[in-house]
Amino acid sequence: MSTNDRSNDVAGPDGKVATRDAANRVLIFDTTLRDGEQSPGISLNKQEKLEIAHQLARLNVDVIEAGFPITSPGDFESVQAISREVEGPIICGLARTSKQDIEAAWNAVRDSERPRIHTFIATSDIHIERKLQTTREDVKGQVRAAVAQAREYTDDVEFSPEDGSRSDVEYMAEVIQIALDEGATTINVPDTVGYTMPREYNAMFTELYRLVPDLRKVVVSVHCHDDLGLAVANSLAGLEAGCRQVECAINGIGERAGNASLEEIAMLLHTRQPSLGLWTGIETTEIARTSRLVSRLTGYQVQPNKAIVGRNAFAHEAGIHQDGVLKERTTYEIMDATTVGLRSNSIVLGKHSGRHALSEALQEMGFELDGQALNTAFKRFKEIADRKKQVTAMDLEALVTDELREEIPGYALEWFEVEASSLRPPHARVSITLPDGTSATGSFMGDGPIDAVFQAINAASGMGAKLNDFTIGAVTEGQDALGEVSIVVEVGGFTGAGQGVSTDIIDAAARAYVRALSVAVARSQTDAAIGLPEGAAG
């Protein structure tokens, strides 16, 4: 039970009290692990997906779209593991309208206490004619068969007419009616390419409710992309038209420009509840931690000025603003930072702290470690504590997330050395573990010490990886801060993202590079073996 569910009344920042009406409860459908993972360079392994899913359960989302089971054995196993281990939210698997897709989705989610099958097919003419190369009548037949098949497995079936915002609304209404007749319990109408505008999206739902009266008997959902920067605004427009489920992702990740940001939707409804009358069950104090976890595991850093979770979201630079906040926080802040779980960067441990103290601190932060996992975390903590005077909660969170992730099979960094000087180009030597378990060394003279290390890794691995993106950030402030490096590389047309954490930025960069290399190579091998499905809902 979320703390946000404990009272029927809630006070907004302006002091106004709003009553929580059950009819205005907005369901949060999280698609971080499905649509979010379709972001270029992201390839989470099973353990990482489980870690995120458990955190989403702590965040109290209503639905976790855990993956697209038919796409690969790895995705199937991840969805199945989440279904078996994560309690609380509905666990959903995505499927096209083919019989094989729906069978795979059901077999992946069937062990969940609350399983859902989400099936989709495009209804816009451009998709029907150009992508599917079929007819409107054939699409109707596929919807009828798919929803009927899904209902044989479970009472919880969601249907999406892909590219709904560009579909002929009268034809789409016919398709939706077919899905309802066959037993669909949730209808999601996505703005797949992020093309619509709030007034258009609102009008579309208003017309659908008129054309399909039975929509008022089921949950109607929005799924918006951010290609024009309107994903959250369009989602709100759908809610104001009567929809009561929002499909969104942590940090707004997803195809192209991404999805509607879960944290922005949640805090919009939380902060403006007295005006909107809409509310969610989200445990808002878990938002910041969830954002940081997804950022670290995906390698996608959060921009500093990102609403709600960016490091500048509650920062004040202007003197007038600082003076106002010191006198009264609400002069310039419409939300309290602690509401979204932003804790102060207080000291929690020092270099003389022992294993028990570390365990206690980690438990307070929500990490339950024991045995070898605790030993591994303690060893890394001691290494960092010898270099830093103060180890904060943020440092520990970064270290534990980095150290305990399950590495994708592939390449691993053993050691590196760099000779750098302003008199001659830097030279680096590295040793890495290859996928077959053997070691290989490489050396290179680069434009800078980090470039030299990257090129030496390429030489050792024999892979001509191309660096597409390189980002450095600091976990905390100060000269001894932990550095976070996020990298995206490309190998043979396949991208991979990786991240590393260390007080030594070259060490962090080298760790990130070999992880990104492993992801890119793994994706190339997987895609070559199975081929990818055409499209995905939203």
Q: DSSP readout, 385-424?
A: HTT-S-EEHHHHHHHHHHHSS-PPSS-EEEEEEEE--SSS
CA distance 517 to 488: 8
In this prediction, residue 8 has a pLDDT band, given cuts at 50, 70 and 90, of low
pLDDT digits (tens, 9 = 90+) for 17-33: 566 889 999 999 999 99
Residue limits of CATH 3.30.160.270 in the chain: 412-529
Q: Say yes or no to pLDDT of 530 above 50.
A: no
Min mean pLDDT across 85-94, 97-106, 272-281, 482-491 is at: 482-491
- Please indicate whether residue 528 or residue 373 has the higher confidence score (pLDDT): 373
**pLDDT for residue 6:** 42
**pLDDT for residue 408:** 65
In this prediction, residue 95 has a pLDDT band, given cuts at 50, 70 and 90, of very high
Number of H helices, E strands in the chain: 17, 18
Q: Say yes or no to pLDDT of 278 above 90.
A: yes
- Over residues 90-99, the mean pLDDT reads 98
**What DSSP element (H or E) covers 178?**
helix 169-181
Three-class secondary structure assignment of 288-352? HHHHHHHHHHHCCCCCCCCCCCCCCCCCCCCHHHHHHHHHCHHHCCCCCHHHHCCCCCCEEECCC
Residue limits of CATH 3.20.20.70 in the chain: 3-8+22-298
Please report how the helices 136-153 and 99-109 are oriented relative to each other, as an axis angle in degrees rounded to 10.
Answer: 30
List Cβ neighbours of 454 (8 Å cut-off, separation of 6 or more): 446, 465, 467, 509, 510, 513
List Cβ neighbours of 352 (8 Å cut-off, separation of 6 or more): none
**pLDDT for residue 42:** 80
- Please indicate whether residue 530 or residue 95 has the higher confidence score (pLDDT): 95
Out of 3.40.50.261, 3.20.20.70, 3.40.50.2000, 3.40.50.880, select the CATH number for domain 3-8+22-298. Answer: 3.20.20.70
CA distance 336 to 329: 8
Q: Say yes or no to pLDDT of 389 above 60.
A: yes
Which residue matches tokens 């996505």?
A: 190
Distance of CA 397 to the CA centre of its chain: 18
**pLDDT for residue 481:** 76
**What DSSP element (H or E) covers 488?**
strand 483-491
Average pLDDT, the chain: 87
Three-class secondary structure assignment of 132-169? CCCCHHHHHHHHHHHHHHHHHHCCCEEEEEECHHHCCH
Q: Say yes or no to pLDDT of 367 above 80.
A: no
pLDDT digits (tens, 9 = 90+) for 401-437: 666 555 567 899 999 999 988 888 999 999 999 999 9
Fold of the domain built from segment(s) 412-529: Double Stranded RNA Binding Domain (3.30.160)
**pLDDT for residue 386:** 76
Q: Say yes or no to pLDDT of 281 above 50.
A: yes
375 token code pair:
């030993």
Is the CB of residue 123 less than 8 Å from the CB of residue 162?
yes
515 token code pair:
């992880």
386 token code pair:
């010898």
- Count of residues making up the chain: 538
- Over residues 203-217, the mean pLDDT reads 98
* Residue 327 backbone zone (phi > 0: left; psi -120 to 50: alpha; other: beta): alpha
Q: Say yes or no to pLDDT of 215 above 90.
A: yes
- Over residues 147-153, the mean pLDDT reads 98
pLDDT digits (tens, 9 = 90+) for 236-255: 999 999 999 999 999 999 99
**pLDDT for residue 325:** 44
Q: Which of 137, 134, 135, 195 is nearest to 163 (CA)?
A: 195
398: number of Cβ within 10 Å: 22
**pLDDT for residue 144:** 98
pLDDT digits (tens, 9 = 90+) for 101-123: 999 999 999 999 999 999 999 99
Q: For 172-188, give one letter per residue: b (16+ CB within 10 A) or e.
A: bbbbbbbbbebbbbbbb
- Over residues 44-57, the mean pLDDT reads 92
Strands 9-11 and 186-191: unpaired
**pLDDT for residue 371:** 80
**What DSSP element (H or E) covers 502?**
strand 494-502
- Over residues 169-188, the mean pLDDT reads 98
Percent of the chain with pLDDT over 90: 59
9 token code pair:
């009344």
Q: Which residues does residue 17 pair with via DSSP β-bridges, in sequence order?
A: 11
pLDDT digits (tens, 9 = 90+) for 460-500: 999 989 999 898 877 766 666 788 888 889 998 888 888 88
- Over residues 65-90, the mean pLDDT reads 96
> Between the CA of residue 255 and those of 181, 222, 384, 435, 458, what are the distances in Å?
31, 16, 36, 30, 29
Whether pTM > 0.75 for this model: the answer is yes
In this prediction, residue 9 has a pLDDT band, given cuts at 50, 70 and 90, of low
457 token code pair:
């890794």
- Please indicate whether residue 288 or residue 123 has the higher confidence score (pLDDT): 123
> Between the CA of residue 45 and those of 379, 414, 502, what are the distances in Å?
24, 22, 22
Is the CB of residue 299 less than 8 Å from the CB of residue 486?
yes
**pLDDT for residue 17:** 56
CA distance 461 to 434: 7
CA distance 342 to 441: 43
Distance of CA 207 to the CA centre of its chain: 32
pLDDT digits (tens, 9 = 90+) for 316-352: 444 544 455 455 666 656 677 778 876 555 556 777 7
- Please indicate whether residue 375 or residue 418 has the higher confidence score (pLDDT): 418
**pLDDT for residue 298:** 85
